[in-house]
Amino acid sequence: MAYDYDDQNIFARILRGEIPNSTVAENDYALAFRDISPKAPTHVLVIPKGRYVSFDDFAANASPEEITGFMRLCAQVAQAEGVSLDGGAGFRAITNAGPDGVQEVPHFHLHIMGGRMMGPMVMLRD
């Protein structure tokens, strides 16, 4: 399956070091950094280092090592931010995909948000 990856998207530029970011954690396969416009006391974005447009692209095409590296970094972030159920009060992890998902940046990212009660799962607006 072919996904059309834009090498000029803002997260590709962050990965290349062209734009600064507030890094929380990193491994060989993924980078975690603070959202520039946080919607909760903890709002961290976890992105793969590979060129994946969206969750479905990553899920279909990433290697087992990339998927494991990404997921382990998510767990590390939740723990480090104090929102993991292993000692914390929980969090919300969401990913938006494509136009209907209202994805702003076309490089797969998971939002990890917590540090407060996150409210209803989805509030639709027209």
Which residues of the shown chain bind ligand 5GP in the complex (CB under 6 A)? 10, 19, 21, 33-37, 96, 102-105
CB of 10 to ligand 5GP, least distance (A): 5
Alpha-carbon span 98 to 29, nearest angstrom: 23
CB of 36 to ligand 5GP, least distance (A): 3
Residue 66 backbone phi and psi in degrees, to 5: -65, -40
Q: Is 43 a known active-site residue?
A: no
Alpha-carbon span 2 to 77, nearest angstrom: 30
Nearer to ligand 5GP, 79 or 103 (CB): 103
Q: Which tokens belong to 51? A: 């060129």
CB of 87 to ligand 5GP, least distance (A): 26
Q: Taking the C-alpha atoms of 60, 63, 69 and 75 in order, what is their torsion angle to the nearest 10 degrees?
A: 30
Nearer to ligand 5GP, 2 or 102 (CB): 102
Active site amino acids: 109
